[in-house]
Amino acid sequence: MDNIDCAKQKIRAVIAGSRVPEDPRHADNTLEWLLRLEPNSGEALQLAALAHDIDRAIEEIKVRRADFDDYDIFKAAHARHGAELLRPILTACGVARDIVDEACRLVEVHEVGGDPSSDLLKDADSISYFDVNLPLYYQREGWAETKRRSLWGYRRLSARARKIVENIGYEEEAMTRLLRKLIHESIH
């Protein structure tokens, strides 16, 4: 097994321990969307896609929403902590230093983007929220919070990613209708 596969396996093992039920699927699904958006994505970007929410996986030390008044400050702390957790995993697998540094940098900025690679990661992550997280998020958090989270997620998408999200449908018809209505209201 090469260094990158070792790292991917370790990241998946950590995320499998998350108490958030959608986390393991969201990690792999974000990687899948990244490769759909950019099939030539490099190793650092692929590792970052898989690991970007690793902070949420370890209940005892994860960054907690309840400790923050501001959602964006919470998200920044979540991203920074994820990068801190990722570094020793990559290093233990012998991943090259430049790839470690870039993967950790990408995790740290995954909520905000700001350069072509992190913008791609942000799109893949946000599309995946709508693709796999939303129905479970709704079950847990209710419609008011899901609406807020979905609008926040939709607004951070690129034009290309918005087109993809607008065509996502859910098993539950009512969910699909709610999302279409929300998107429609947000742009009019």
Residues making contact with Fe ion (CB under 5 A)? 53, 125
**Which CB atom, from 20 or from 182, has the smaller least distance to Fe ion?**
20
CB of 39 to Fe ion, least distance (A): 21
CB of 2 to Fe ion, least distance (A): 26
**Which CB atom, from 53 or from 55, has the smaller least distance to Fe ion?**
53
Alpha carbon distance 121, 137 (integer Å): 21
Amino acid at 18: S
**Which CB atom, from 114 or from 188, has the smaller least distance to Fe ion?**
114
Q: What is the largest CA-CA distance in the chain?
A: 51
Alpha carbon distance 86, 15 (integer Å): 11
Residue 136's contacts (CB-CB under 8 Å, 6 or more residues apart) are 21, 22
CB of 126 to Fe ion, least distance (A): 8
**Which CB atom, from 123 or from 125, has the smaller least distance to Fe ion?**
125
Tell me the three-class secondary structure of 43-61, residue by residue.
HHHHHHHHHCCHHHHCCCC
CB of 110 to Fe ion, least distance (A): 7
Alpha carbon distance 172, 175 (integer Å): 5
